[in-house]
Amino acid sequence: MGLLVTILVALRAVLRNKMRSFLTTLGIIIGVAAVIAMMAIGAGAKAQVEAAFAAMGTNLLILMPGSTTSGGSFGGFGSMPTLTWDDLTAIRNDVPTVKAAAPQLRSNQSIVSEELNWTTGVVGTSPEYFDIRSWPMGQGQAWTQADVDAGSKVVILGATVVERLFGKNTNPVGQTVRIGKTPFSVVAVAAKKGQSPNGQDYDDTAFIPFTTFAQRIQGGLGKFLSGTVFIQATAPNTTNRAMEDVKALLRDRHHIAQGADDDFSIRNLSEIAGAQQQGTETMTTLLASVAMVSLIVGGIGIMNIMLVSVTERTREIGLRMAIGAKPRTVLVQFLVEALVLSIAGGLMGVALGVGAATWIAGKFHWPMQIQVDVITVSVAFSALVGLVFGIYPAWRASRLDPIDALRYE
């Protein structure tokens, strides 16, 4: 008897009892659906974290002045200006693992267009900043080193600020805005970047040269850099090295004795990103394992029903044997029935899982990613469950004695 015929016979047997077949496969359906939905949402969350950290910049270190303990009391990072402009120059020039470094001076300022005003974080920085944070311009051209040197009154606006001051879908390049009392010419709009990992709007900001910032907002460029420094390492695998190098350089420059605390701190963003991702992955794995348990429980359900089915159909088995079915043929028939049930359950589970993931993602505005390999593995796993839990009932069926089976009541 050909395999195709066996499959058709099995399909017919499964369809003869639609309700029961469906309930039998429910365990598999729920298991597979749960795996698919979990993995889709997990992968989406992971991708979102990845994207958010990539948006912050690649191979990024953030250097902040101040130390944890300053004069015995907790001062907090950035509370004391300990970094100097010369430190920045030294970091740029003397550390080979550092590709670029840019200052970030920040202050909340009211920006005024002709009709509207909007308070936002104004950042004073240098042109490297946009490379370090992989932040291209959406419209116009970014100001340059020449503008920094000259202390030009030029500004790059974030997309949110443009929206607040000029309305949606407008091009403010060439217009003038005032920050405080000083008029600035808008030279560019930074490309839309979205949200940071902690939900902050990246686009609600404006950039001006740090020299202009020091003069117009901080009241003069002094010795100290009263802000943070964004440092980009040459490559992902040199990030930690760059961190150590910068630390050593600054300790040396600040004459910090061995054993004493740093008067600055450095954060490695890829480490934070890695930790976050690991958290997401652990969660996904955990949920997927629970779903796997459901699949196994589903398999036991299939075994249970197949055993009932073999008992119920004892006479049918006896008849099939009497008219020429070999034990092997009976074994294959029941095995295929279990497989048909489990694979059908798997496929329905895929549909349900994709549907559920889409619905949940839409409802809660979560990201999700349907992964083809997860679908393949789940369907293959449900087939395996059918095989493993179907073999015993099928074996029992094939071992029946046709005489006893025919007489079974």
Residues that bind other proteins (CB under 8 A): 1-2, 5, 9, 12, 16, 315-316, 318-329, 402-403, 406
Tell me the closest approach of the beta carbon of residue 15 to other proteins, in angstroms.
Answer: 9
Tell me the closest approach of the beta carbon of residue 334 to other proteins, in angstroms.
Answer: 15
Q: What is residue 261's DSSP assignment?
A: P
Tell me the closest approach of the beta carbon of residue 21 to other proteins, in angstroms.
Answer: 13
Q: Show the 3-state SS of 237-248.
A: HHHHHHHHHHHH
Which of 154/306 has CB closer to other proteins? 306
Q: What is the Cα–Cα distance from 161 to 12, expressed in whole angstroms?
A: 65
Which of 16/365 has CB closer to other proteins? 16
Tell me the closest approach of the beta carbon of residue 2 to other proteins, in angstroms.
Answer: 7
130: alpha, beta or left? (left if phi > 0; alpha if psi -120 to 50): alpha
Which of 12/192 has CB closer to other proteins? 12
- Count Cβ atoms below 10 Å from residue 74 Cβ, excluding itself: 9
Distance between terminal CA atoms of the chain? 28
Tell me the closest approach of the beta carbon of residue 290 to other proteins, in angstroms.
Answer: 38
Q: Record the tokens describing residue 154, joined without a space.
A: 């030029």
Which of 254/313 has CB closer to other proteins? 313
Q: Residue 46 to residues 15, 39, 275, 369, 378: CA-CA distances in angstroms?
A: 41, 10, 11, 10, 20
Q: Record the tokens describing residue 29, joined without a space.
A: 């359906």
- Count Cβ atoms below 10 Å from residue 322 Cβ, excluding itself: 12
Residue 120 has phi, psi (to 5 degrees) of -145, 170
- Evaluate whether 182 touches 227 at the Cβ level (below 8 Å): no
Across 363-395, b (16+ Cβ under 10 Å) vs e yields eeeeebbbeeebbeebbebbbebbbebbbebbe
Tell me the closest approach of the beta carbon of residue 274 to other proteins, in angstroms.
Answer: 59
Tell me the closest approach of the beta carbon of residue 394 to other proteins, in angstroms.
Answer: 16
Across 223-237, b (16+ Cβ under 10 Å) vs e yields eebbbbbbbbbbeee
**Residue 190 half-sphere exposure, CB side, CA atoms within 13 Å?**
26
Tell me the closest approach of the beta carbon of residue 9 to other proteins, in angstroms.
Answer: 7
Q: What is the Cα–Cα distance from 292 to 31, expressed in whole angstroms?
A: 6
Tell me the closest approach of the beta carbon of residue 24 to other proteins, in angstroms.
Answer: 18
Which of 257/323 has CB closer to other proteins? 323
Q: What is the Cα–Cα distance from 51 to 304, expressed in whole angstroms?
A: 47
Which of 8/146 has CB closer to other proteins? 8
Which of 13/155 has CB closer to other proteins? 13
C-alpha dihedral, 342 to 348 to 354 to 360, nearest 10°: -100
Tell me the closest approach of the beta carbon of residue 308 to other proteins, in angstroms.
Answer: 16
